[in-house]
Structure 1
Amino acid sequence: MNLFVFGLGFSGRAFAERVRGRFGTIRATVTETARAEAIEAETGFAMRAFGPEADDPRIAEDLADSDALLVAAPPGPGGDTVLARYADAVAGSRIAWIGYLSTIGVYGDHGGAWIDETTPATPKSARSKERLAVEEAWLSLGARSGKAVQMFRLSGIYGPGRSPITKLREGRSQRIVKQGQVFNRIHVADIAATLEASLDRPRPGAVYNVTDDEPAPPQTVIEHAARLTGLPLPPEVDFETADLSPMARSFYGENKRVRNRLIREELGVSLAYPTYREGLAILAGEA
């Protein structure tokens, strides 16, 4: 069996590394040719360049020779580039399992209330509205082609080299306080484990929340990271006056607590890092 991954970024690479023993060949994309060559030399994956200005001519043939497909590349301003260029190739291939990495942002704001996969998606931001449209397009392709397409809605991703501890060590951390605000998180290793579990239990049209057990205020997580590492704690900054990019500020416009019951009960996933405490405890020792 062969795997193709559109977008070998943080999550896509974690999944590919986890399942490399299950597949004869793993092919994947990044946006730049030079980076593709470097990753291929490092990992042994067959890398392709794919993006707004790159489209390796081997990709269509690769898809025809694949059994599973992970789409981890975000949509562009004009929609999903993968669907725009390769919908017919995917539909006509032997690919039996398709995973699409989406975001819990599609649920919109729920005032801090608990939600699950039965909660209607009511996205607020233009970015999340685009994501929902792409989700629907992939699910439609699955229904037309008879392929098992699954949506994985991810919460805030962290892991080695990308965590509150990383930001503290690099002096980039802000302890932003907004009354009542909480976020869910998910360790990249638990994303990879969930995707692998789905390979063994494909369900056409499935939607899963991939998230931890304990939504928490962002400043609480930073305080815990500082205690673990002994690094200086940044001063508190009120959300209203915080220096944030428009994208970062938009995250604080949505407040919800996300349940992950379905990945546990249907896919049999047992999170290695059920809260930020377990995840940060491991990451505190990273170089």
Structure 2
Amino acid sequence: MTRSRLDLLVLGYGYSARHAVAELRPDLTALTVTARAPAKAARLAANGLAVIALGEPDADAALAAAVARASHILVSAGPSADGDPFLLCCAAPLAAAAAAGTLEWIGYLSTVGVYGDAAGGLVDETTPAAPASERTRWRVAAESAWAALGHTAGVPVALLRLAGIYGPGRNAFVALERGTARRIVKPGQMFNRIHVADLGRAAAAAARLRFDGILNVCDDQPSPPDLPILHAAELMGVAPPPAIPFETAEFSPMARSFWSENKRVSNARLRGLGVTLAHPTWRSGLDDLWRSDTWRGSPEDQDDASPKFKR
């Protein structure tokens, strides 16, 4: 459907959401983003973005006003035991915007971790969620709450379940350069990935189509976890880190829960929407990062990177 207006509100403007906005930018008539850290809010404002600095005295009023005028909302914020942080503060404005006919689509960035462990088997959007950790149980609860709001209000809600994200500033090259790469070997283990540019393509397509429902966002090639590290080391011309048997590896509680989930995730529905992946395999994505010399990322990529990729 051709749209005459795409007024986007991004709730949580981080690494993933920023790349989704980049894909949508040609269609945007307005953009408002939120930031929790004062320094980040100031940096985004200095770059010309309309920013709501969460925690400031006028933040609630500014957020309600932004919800009231948005045609599309992209949610990129992790839940807690208390629930989704934006649903807690914005339920009434969201309902009002939907009733007024202004709000036309909500996208919620979730995780394929909600499927839990499939013993290496294939899962798709019809597979019931089976969260195995507290963190993924919070995600399922947040998904359900956003979907329920959309159902009640008559607004499409896309639950975008993301695989492991990599891209500029967040990849095996960075980990190898920092000396933090670990090559853990667990026979039969399969991980799923998505290049952040393709994450952006998927989110943009869902927004333009006003997609409603669950959508897995992953590439075509689940693989054992150590292969990208081996390939990145080969491209860099460095020795890969030694193999560490899973049984003897040390993990944080979060990392251990991640490794306890073994599955291959289907992206057939994503492909069915007509999304063409720039990097249908992790090998293609790593090759491009190395060839284009973009693997270190921009200052923004580095600022938004998760702690293990901080430089």
Which TM bucket (shorter chain)?
A: over 0.9
Report the Cα offset of residue 50 of structure 1: 2.6
Q: Is the 8 A contact 2:183 2:242 kept in 1?
A: yes
Specify whether residues 51 and 260 from structure 1 end up closer, same or farther in structure 2 by C-alpha distance, changes over 3 A only. Answer: farther
State yes or no: 1:9 paired with 2:17: no
Report the Cα offset of residue 76 of structure 1: 2.4
1:128 aligns to what SS in structure 2?
helix
Q: Distance in 2 between matches of 1:179 and 1:243?
A: 17
Alignment partner, residue 71 of structure 2? 67
1:282 to 288, 294, 298: 288
Alignment deviations for residues 221-251 of structure 1 (CA, whole Å, 9 cap, x no partner): 1101111111231111112222321111111
2:165 aligns to what SS in structure 1?
strand
Alignment partner, residue 180 of structure 1? 188
Alignment partner, residue 120 of structure 1? 128
Alignment deviations for residues 80-107 of structure 1 (CA, whole Å, 9 cap, x no partner): 1110100111121111010000000111
* 1:128-147 aligned within 5 A: 128-147=136-155
Alignment deviations for residues 27-69 of structure 1 (CA, whole Å, 9 cap, x no partner): 1112112211102212x22111236999453111111111100
State yes or no: 1:248 paired with 2:255: yes
Alignment partner, residue 28 of structure 1? 33
Alignment partner, residue 273 of structure 1? 279
2:53 aligns to what SS in structure 1?
strand
1:203 to 195, 208, 211: 211
Q: Distance in 1 between matches of 2:234 and 2:211?
A: 42
1:58 aligns to what SS in structure 2?
helix
Specify whether residues 64 and 53 from structure 1 end up closer, same or farther in structure 2 by C-alpha distance, changes over 3 A only. Answer: closer
- 2:45 aligned partner, one-letter code: E
Q: Is the 8 A contact 1:32 1:49 kept in 2?
A: yes
Q: Distance in 1 between matches of 2:123 and 2:135?
A: 20
Q: Is the 8 A contact 1:25 1:45 kept in 2?
A: no
Q: Distance in 1 between matches of 2:115 and 2:40?
A: 34
Q: Is the 8 A contact 2:9 2:33 kept in 1?
A: yes
**Structure 1: gaps (5+ residues):** none
Q: Distance in 1 between matches of 2:264 and 2:46?
A: 41
Alignment partner, residue 191 of structure 1? 199
- 1:272 aligned partner, one-letter code: A
Specify whether residues 106 and 169 from structure 1 end up closer, same or farther in structure 2 by C-alpha distance, changes over 3 A only. Answer: same
Q: Distance in 2 between matches of 1:231 and 1:65?
A: 52
Q: Distance in 1 between matches of 2:197 and 2:169?
A: 13
Alignment partner, residue 47 of structure 1? 51
Specify whether residues 256 and 53 from structure 1 end up closer, same or farther in structure 2 by C-alpha distance, changes over 3 A only. Answer: farther
Q: Is the 8 A contact 2:120 2:264 kept in 1?
A: yes
Alignment deviations for residues 147-206 of structure 1 (CA, whole Å, 9 cap, x no partner): 0111000000011000111111111100011111110000111111011111222233x1
Specify whether residues 281 and 138 from structure 1 end up closer, same or farther in structure 2 by C-alpha distance, changes over 3 A only. Answer: same
Report the Cα offset of residue 282 of structure 1: 1.3
For the aligned residue pairs, the C-alpha RMSD in angstroms reads 1.6
* 1:38-117 aligned within 5 A: 38-42=43-47, 44-50=48-54, 55-93=59-97, 94-117=102-125
Specify whether residues 234 and 54 from structure 1 end up closer, same or farther in structure 2 by C-alpha distance, changes over 3 A only. Answer: farther
Q: Distance in 2 between matches of 1:12 and 1:200?
A: 15
Report the Cα offset of residue 24 of structure 1: 2.0
* 1:159-174 aligned within 5 A: 159-174=167-182
Alignment deviations for residues 242-279 of structure 1 (CA, whole Å, 9 cap, x no partner): 232111111110100000000111x2111111111010
- 2:12 aligned partner, one-letter code: G
**Structure 2: gaps (5+ residues):** 297-311
Q: Is the 8 A contact 2:119 2:261 kept in 1?
A: yes
**TM-score when normalising by structure 2:** 0.88
Specify whether residues 171 and 101 from structure 1 end up closer, same or farther in structure 2 by C-alpha distance, changes over 3 A only. Answer: same
Alignment partner, residue 262 of structure 1? 269
Specify whether residues 56 and 168 from structure 1 end up closer, same or farther in structure 2 by C-alpha distance, changes over 3 A only. Answer: farther
Alignment partner, residue 223 of structure 2? 216
Report the Cα offset of residue 283 of structure 1: 1.4
